[in-house]
Amino acid sequence: MVLSPQDIHNKEFSVKMRGYNIDEVNEFLDRIIKDYQLTLSENIDMKNRLKQTEDELKYFNGMKDSLNQSIIIAQNAADKVKVEAQNEANNVTEQSRKQADEILNDASVKAKDIVENISNQSKALLIANDDLRKTTESFREKIRTLLESQMQFVNSPEWDQMISGIDGNFDKVNEQINNLDNFKETVVQSEGKEMPADATIKIYPDGSFKAIE
């Protein structure tokens, strides 16, 4: 048991011969009591402070636990937000990729259709051009054949004979024409048949003529 200042103050010692000076002992004990009292007061104060410190430490530990819990909650919330944001970003990226793929596929299909249409038109144009070339070549060949035939006809000896016959029979033909004018309103005799004045007459290069019914 710890002695109190009062215990020290009330302590009595037996007196023997040649013992200590009682006054000096009492004085020294008084000093011890004061120092002890001061030490006890300081000890009590230190205990109170220690208790206060322990209470504060307990409070701060509680705050620390609360803060740690808040930090954990905040970290979990941040991780959740991060995961959700990453998922949202992944979804947006996936949607964007799908839309880009759809746009690219549509563009590819349209481009393919356009190229195929242009190719078909080009092929049709080439076929039409070839047909036109063949038709033009055939037409040119026909014209050339016709012209060659006409040139052969023009250059035939019959034309020279005809021209010579026309020159030789010009007077005779002229006379026949004049006779036709004179008998315009009368009946014309030809090859033993009667012809009206408005009958169609065919005149030959030798000056002869006949009616065409």
133: tokens are 């070339």
Alpha-carbon distance 66 to 179, whole Å? 149
Count the Cβ atoms, other than its own, within 10 Å of residue 40.
14
Does residue 85 lie in a domain region?
no
Percent of the chain past pLDDT 70, that is, above it, reads 65
Its pTM surpasses 0.75: no
Residue with tokens 């012809």: 195
Whether residue 188 has pLDDT greater than 50: no
Alpha-carbon distance 176 to 173, whole Å? 5
Percent of the chain past pLDDT 90, that is, above it, reads 2
178: tokens are 């004049």
127: tokens are 């076929």
* 168-195: average pLDDT: 56
Does residue 96 lie in a domain region?
no
Higher pLDDT: 138 or 178? It is 138
Does residue 166 lie in a domain region?
yes
Structural domain for 194, as ranges: 159-212
Helix (H) or strand (E) holding 7: helix 5-10
Does residue 52 lie in a domain region?
no
Whether residue 184 has pLDDT greater than 80: no
State the total domains in the chain: 1
